[in-house]
């Protein structure tokens, strides 16, 4: 039985640098700018202002501030449409319970995505087959999927390699619960733990698999270099380390995502 070995959680980077919190602060600032603009400039022209016009103007201000702050291009679009989307949702007159249920569902699915910048990605059978083909065959291995989602990869590998130990760690409550229940129902030897992979010690594993996001790759590289043992393997689906040539670059399907791998050297 394999359970991830925990150590003290490393300190987070400054919360003020997180894009999601910056975007929220920018929306608040754009609302204040909009109020001042309407109060002291537009009001003097006598031109009537509709809510739709105000939402578009706030979105434009937020997008401009986001560009000034250097947020990623997709944030500019999100910032621009957010006030209008909020206004449109309000016009639907949905019951408050709907918003509470939607909020709880999203929290359960994504949890601290605003901090980790790692959304819920699902790999699929093509990736599972590629990972299985790269695993060492001559001896039992200890495998960990960091950010295991619904657990498909770990369950699949555990069924193929019963002599080895396979585990997944997932920070979001609902995906972790789904993977844990699937393992119980299938009577699988796979083990799933809810937690942050940054609290793991990679030295306990022979193979580490990641399907994260470009934003998380620099920190993953530092952790792997500091903790993985010589000869162990780090696999990353779709995303690679900038400026670092992979030892493995295996397409998982024709014109599909690539599975990258790096062996830890002395």
Q: Where are the domains of the chain?
A: 19-116, 125-263
Q: CB under 8 Å to 101, separation ≥6 — which residues?
A: none
Shortest CA distance to 65 belongs to which of 26, 20, 25?
Answer: 26
Q: CB under 8 Å to 249, separation ≥6 — which residues?
A: 258, 259, 260, 261
The structure tokens listed for 35 are 């109020």
Q: What is the predicted pLDDT for the residue at 117?
A: 54
Residue 3, beta-bridge partner list: none
116 contacts 171 by C-beta, under 8 angstroms:
yes
The structure tokens listed for 102 are 């939607």
* Dist. CA 101–CA 36, nearest whole Å: 35
Per-residue pLDDT of the chain (266 residues; tens, 9 = 90+): 444 444 444 444 455 566 667 777 888 888 888 888 887 777 677 777 788 888 888 888 888 888 888 877 777 888 888 888 888 877 777 787 766 666 666 555 555 554 555 556 678 899 999 999 999 888 899 999 998 888 999 999 999 999 999 999 988 888 889 999 999 999 999 999 988 888 899 999 999 999 987 878 888 999 999 999 999 999 999 889 888 899 999 999 888 899 999 998 76
Q: What is the predicted pLDDT for the residue at 266?
A: 63
* Dist. CA 194–CA 168, nearest whole Å: 8
* Alpha-helical segments (H) within the chain: 19-37, 43-45, 51-69, 73-91, 96-110, 113-116, 125-134, 152-160, 173-186, 217-227
Q: What is the predicted pLDDT for the residue at 264?
A: 87
| Whether domain 125-263 has CATH 3.40.50.12590 | no
Shortest CA distance to 17 belongs to which of 69, 61, 81?
Answer: 69
* Dist. CA 168–CA 112, nearest whole Å: 17
């Amino acid at each position: 039985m394999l359970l991830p070995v925990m150590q003290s959680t490393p300190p987070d980077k400054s919360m003020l640098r997180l894009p999601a919190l910056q975007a929220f602060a920018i929306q608040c600032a754009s609302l204040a700018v909009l109020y001042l603009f309407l109060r002291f400039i537009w009001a003097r022209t006598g031109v009537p202002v509709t809510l739709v016009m105000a939402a578009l103007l706030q979105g434009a201000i937020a997008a401009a501030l986001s560009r000034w702050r250097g947020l990623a291009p997709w944030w500019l679009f999100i910032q621009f449409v957010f006030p209008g989307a909020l206004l449109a949702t309000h016009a639907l007159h949905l019951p408050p319970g709907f918003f509470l249920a939607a909020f709880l569902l999203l929290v359960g699915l994504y949890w601290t995505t605003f901090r980790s910048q790692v959304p819920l990605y699902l790999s699929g059978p093509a990736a599972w087959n590629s990972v299985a083909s790269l695993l060492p065959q001559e001896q039992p291995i200890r495998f960990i999927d960091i950010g295991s989602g619904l657990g498909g990869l770990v369950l699949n590998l555990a069924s193929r390699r019963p002599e080895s130990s396979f585990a997944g760690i997932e920070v979001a409550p609902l995906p972790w619960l789904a993977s844990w229940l699937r393992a119980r129902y299938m009577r699988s030897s796979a083990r799933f733990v809810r937690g942050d992979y940054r609290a793991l010690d990679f030295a306990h594993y022979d193979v580490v698999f990641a399907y994260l996001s470009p934003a998380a790759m620099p920190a993953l590289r530092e952790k792997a270099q500091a903790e993985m043992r010589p000869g162990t393997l780090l696999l990353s689906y779709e995303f690679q380390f900038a400026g670092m040539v992979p030892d493995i670059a295996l397409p998982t399907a024709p014109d599909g995502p690539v599975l990258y791998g790096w062996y830890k050297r002395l």
